[in-house]
Structure 1
């Protein structure tokens, strides 16, 4: 061991208060910054003992220059013996009553010593350490809370804070490094020097301190040490040896402090030996594999040389072939250019024909749309005319008992003249606007009317299926409809998804269509989409049903039960109470169809308890939509939107007064939305045209 003391006539500081020991090994990049963080302390009465442990870089030269420039530095050089040896050499040379340690790659805060000595004087600690923050190789702070080191350090800090220093340090080395140690010199005489551990000598030392009588370990909760993580830290490459050392230290604590039996320690030793034996075996296997890889590498190098020679020969041959192919390619390029010119010419012809066809198709679609709309509006005019004639017959054919039969014949003749007004015939002079018609009403009984099977009306169904699990139930209802002309299913499903669910319908209906729509406007949105796609209104009568579930709380069902005079506990009961009066049996369906056929004033049929005039919560929106459709406000409607209707009465849906895009997507509202207003508009369209809304029971 050699010593380089004060040079150039400078005198060392007498009676230093703190001796600082820096063990140094191959840290030329960091040692000057570390030493300067000591020399720049706000507490100047120090000596700095730097022990170079046989460094092979230029750090000794840097330290010698610093020692010559500052008398407080004492430089010791020794052969490489490990960090514990360098620390013990420095500690034994210390002359001050306090000893602090700083590793050659870490940095202190400028007021570290002053702050910690003040805390010791206040609280009586004789071994102190502070909190630590992390820096990188360039000295930049690493404050990312998700960094693995910061996570581990925060966990250790929590254990110390929650359990105290003694128990918290048993969980892990919260001191982090010997760079964080400040202790009185007599602590060494009580605890002993640093033991020969490569990775955990700091943890071993502080654990001995906390269990040694007369040593008080004190934590300073302030970051006064900047611990550097730079890729060459010993601990980063120490696994699994670091874990073996930690086990050895913990065994000592078990034995010395907690009186663990010797057999338990021997068991730990045995498992460590097994681990070391396992690791040694793995190392031998790795070395053997590496030797085999070297042999394979030599063989592959020879093979690679042979392949390279073969490749050069093939490359020359390929170059010759490439030159030949280039000539062929040039000829092909010329032919390709000619072909492209021809292709462009033909493509231009195809494009002109396509544009012409698209224009014709668009024109035909417009003609078809106008024809469809015109047909629906003509049907509406026909049905309205038939309704008005029926209303006139009701007014003018009333013949009280005992009246003159000639008067009855006269009235009937006058009604025949009125029919010619609405159905062009031989008496065109009558003006229907001169007659006073009543608006539609709400009626209850079906009577004994029957379906005239010889008339063969076109019967359509709109079934909105949002809940696919209800498909079977709804299809069973449709099986009760005779001579079913068309079924249009809307919802989020395509035809492939519903093929098995709709299979029974093909036995009674040859025209089953599926229109896939988003959940926008619920069943009302599906109806509007189907109508705009020319799917429904070319029928005579239409049944509208949907897979209603109503996932609402019990309080909601109590409220609607009071409104409708029924005891409803869930959406399934509500749905069946709406549909069964409309399609619960074939006899009921035939009664309703017979009513439509024989009574031209019937425009809509709905389940009796659900026919109501309750206003929507959004009165402003309700009035605005009524105004847009030109229908009266506050008319009766079928709550739940399931009903039979004369198809032509839905003609206003073709006039683009409301679009599917006007509705909210996946709305969960039970009132106040556009779909709830449209629920009321359907009834107003019927009653406003002079038709009756028929209420039927179950």
Structure 2
């Protein structure tokens, strides 16, 4: 087997059949499918066993629930292929995805392949930003890195093909969010080149995945944002001989910070004083100052420019009021649209 496809499975009976069959029906056969049942409490485990009985390429691991990172690690350890591919159990693949990824990594003699993807939300389908098809070395990566990151090409594990021999660091099982980008950055420290495929070969379903809004509503969202930002800084320092421009990444990170603040204010489970205290801690943190060092305020959208000014002045009460007003207007507009649509 050349490719080992690792699929973490947890209570995924709604979509798991479509996911598995999209892999079994690939245009190449030299792959193994490792289904890691992470302590599912629905019928997912039985569905996995059914496919293992149906096709000898399917391997099932049943384990106690430890989270998606531990499940992926179990899959990597079990894999016998030269290449590793990850698929989420509620997503599916275009029929030629594996063939295109494999032929590209061989033809280009590269260490990593990244392709485009489709985002599916109900009946709405959108494609990721389209980069040119090319092989790039470390120097070219330094020029393209910011654009790859802000266009969400580097964050996930599922639109990629990895060389198993270059996976030196496994998933961090203590990081419950943001672990994918950390894994990818560690992997990319070991590569000399990567290939980009513009085709949208992976179909990412957001209906059943954690949405960006709910992710940003997590208690430790700012810890996650800052941890990712620091990991990117460390990677760039380690990988690139010349300092790269961080404006685009810093602005992207600051956009997440602004969303996080608005969601904090909208959180009905916290008292106003708790929210004020947290805003104060975040605005005073060294991490916030680090993001500010590389921020290009002129290119921020208007709402973020206003928050930038208020954070800079440490005007905590005004930040609270601004976010509160912004949330109120947004909710009111949503209700009006819903009313007009009835």
Structure 2 SS opposite 1:100: strand
Name which of 49, 61, 71 aligns with 2:34. Answer: 49
Check the 8 A contact 1:199/1:234 in 2, yes or no.
no
Distance apart, 1:236 and its partner CA: 4.4
Note closer, same or farther for the CA distance 1:235–1:194 as it changes in structure 2 (3 Å cut). Answer: farther
Residue in 2 that maps onto 1:285: 271
Note closer, same or farther for the CA distance 1:173–1:232 as it changes in structure 2 (3 Å cut). Answer: closer
Distance 2:104 2:268 in 1: 50
Higher relative contact order, structure no. (Cα contacts within 8 Å, ≥ 6 residues apart): 2
Distance 2:191 2:237 in 1: 19
Structure 2 SS opposite 1:76: strand
Name which of 190, 194, 206 aligns with 1:229. Answer: 206
Residue in 2 that maps onto 1:517: none
Name which of 118, 133, 157 aligns with 2:118. Answer: 133
Deviations 1:95-121 (A, max 9, x none): 111111111011111111111111111
Distance apart, 1:166 and its partner CA: 2.7
Note closer, same or farther for the CA distance 1:229–1:282 as it changes in structure 2 (3 Å cut). Answer: closer
Structure 2 SS opposite 1:178: coil
Distance 1:71 1:252 in 2: 40
Distance 1:123 1:133 in 2: 24
Distance apart, 1:224 and its partner CA: 0.8
Check the 8 A contact 1:165/1:218 in 2, yes or no.
no
**Which of structures 1 and 2 has the bigger CA Rg?**
1
Residue in 1 that maps onto 2:156: 177
TM-score (normalised: structure 2): 0.63
Please state if 1:38 is matched with 2:23: yes
Distance 1:141 1:38 in 2: 23
Deviations 1:101-145 (A, max 9, x none): 1110111111111111111111122211211112235xx5514xx
Please state if 1:203 is matched with 2:181: yes
Check the 8 A contact 1:88/1:193 in 2, yes or no.
yes
Matches within 5 A, 1:103-122: 103-122=88-107
Matches within 5 A, 1:485-634: none
Matches within 5 A, 1:670-685: none
Check the 8 A contact 1:209/1:215 in 2, yes or no.
no
Distance 2:207 2:268 in 1: 29
Distance apart, 1:67 and its partner CA: 1.2
Distance 1:104 1:25 in 2: 8
Note closer, same or farther for the CA distance 1:87–1:215 as it changes in structure 2 (3 Å cut). Answer: farther
Matches within 5 A, 1:296-695: none
Check the 8 A contact 2:149/2:155 in 1, yes or no.
no
Note closer, same or farther for the CA distance 1:112–1:184 as it changes in structure 2 (3 Å cut). Answer: same
Structure 1 SS opposite 2:125: coil
Please state if 1:258 is matched with 2:232: no
Note closer, same or farther for the CA distance 1:128–1:246 as it changes in structure 2 (3 Å cut). Answer: farther
Residue in 2 that maps onto 1:683: none
Name which of 168, 181, 196 aligns with 2:147. Answer: 168
Distance apart, 1:284 and its partner CA: 4.1
RMSD of Structure 2 on Structure 1 (CA): 3.4
Structure 2 SS opposite 1:42: coil
Distance apart, 1:238 and its partner CA: 0.8
Distance apart, 1:23 and its partner CA: 0.4
Check the 8 A contact 2:90/2:208 in 1, yes or no.
no
Please state if 1:193 is matched with 2:170: yes
TM-score (normalised: structure 1): 0.32
Deviations 1:35-92 (A, max 9, x none): 1111111110111100011112211121111111111111111111111110011011
Check the 8 A contact 1:133/1:141 in 2, yes or no.
no
Residue in 2 that maps onto 1:88: 73
Name which of 49, 73, 88 aligns with 2:58. Answer: 73
Distance 1:237 1:84 in 2: 19
Structure 2 SS opposite 1:195: coil
Distance apart, 1:94 and its partner CA: 0.3
Distance apart, 1:240 and its partner CA: 3.9
Name which of 114, 118, 142 aligns with 2:125. Answer: 142
Structure 2 SS opposite 1:55: coil
Structure 2 SS opposite 1:142: strand
Deviations 1:383-420 (A, max 9, x none): xxxxxxxxxxxxxxxxxxxxxxxxxxxxxxxxxxxxxx
Structure 1 SS opposite 2:75: helix
Distance 1:110 1:40 in 2: 6
Please state if 1:59 is matched with 2:44: yes
Note closer, same or farther for the CA distance 1:21–1:256 as it changes in structure 2 (3 Å cut). Answer: closer
Deviations 1:256-309 (A, max 9, x none): 53389xxxxxxx9xxx9xx99x969974428x9xxxxxxxxxxxxxxxxxxxxx
Distance 2:131 2:213 in 1: 21
Structure 2: segments with no counterpart, 5+ residues: 244-252, 275-342
Distance 2:68 2:124 in 1: 26
Residue in 1 that maps onto 2:304: none
The number of residue pairs the alignment matches comes to 245
Distance 2:213 2:160 in 1: 21
Structure 2 SS opposite 1:168: helix
Residue in 2 that maps onto 1:219: 196
Structure 2 SS opposite 1:37: helix
Name which of 244, 249, 268 aligns with 2:228. Answer: 249
